[in-house]
Amino acid sequence: MTAYQIWFYIIASMILGGALLAVTARKIFRAAIALLVSLIGIAALYYWMHYEFIAAVQTIVYVGGIVVLIIFSIFLTHNPGHTIEEPVSIREAFAFTGCFAGFAFVFSLLNRYSFEQTGDGLNHTMQVADVGRALLSTGSGSYLLPFEAVSLLLLAAMVGCIVIAIKIRTK
């Protein structure tokens, strides 16, 4: 086993351990932090694969954005120090069955798909300029239409926010 592989297993155990803790933690705040560990692990995996841009975006969006939002909403809504009681065992059984079914489905898909090596392994670098060009061009392998669709979605979300937040003056 090479040192690279050891690093991979360390990162993978971080992701899986974080995910496992996130669903088993009895305190909601600790669950959020476990989720954070898992998401940082995914970013680390991207760095390990030399996809720095995706890794940084993963860190900014998921860790710096979404987890902070989750923690804030936990602070504001729940009693975060409260220990959640054990769920009913029948529910636990159903949850296990559901998880196992999902895992089996994904695993069978992965098993059937034969992964082909497209690059030359670890020795490639991902230029940010290429990402930008792919995002804003119209040829094959480019993403202008999805980009615009996402911007439309964000616009709709912004309009929705303003509608919720606006003060309607009543006489």
**Which residues lie near other proteins (CB under 8 A)?**
2-7, 27, 29-30, 33, 36, 40, 52-53, 56-57, 59-60, 63-65, 67-68, 71-72, 75, 80-81, 125-129
Q: How far is the CB of 13 from other proteins (least distance, A)?
A: 17
Report, in Å, the least distance between residue 103 CB and other proteins.
29
3-state secondary structure 81-111: CCECCCCCHHHHHHHHHHHHHHHHHHHHHHH
Closest CB to other proteins among residues 65, 102: 65
Among residues 4 and 113, whose Cβ is nearest to other proteins? 4
Q: Are 44 and 14 in contact (CB under 8 A)?
A: yes
Q: How far is the CB of 86 from other proteins (least distance, A)?
A: 19
- Give the single-character DSSP code of 138: -
> Mind giving me the DSSP string for 2-35?
-HHHHHHHHHHHHHHHHHHHHHH-SBHHHHHHHH
Residue nearer to other proteins on the CB measure, 112 or 167? 167
Q: How far is CA 43 from the centre of its chain?
A: 9
CB of 43 to other proteins, least distance (A): 8
Taking the least distance from each CB to other proteins, the nearer of 130 and 148 is 130
Closest distance of CB 14 from other proteins, Å: 14
Residues in the chain: 171
- Spell out a b/e string for 79-106, using b for 16 or more CB atoms within 10 Å of the CB, else e: eeeeeeeeeeeeeeeeeeeeeeeeeeee
Residue number with CB closer to other proteins (71 or 134): 71
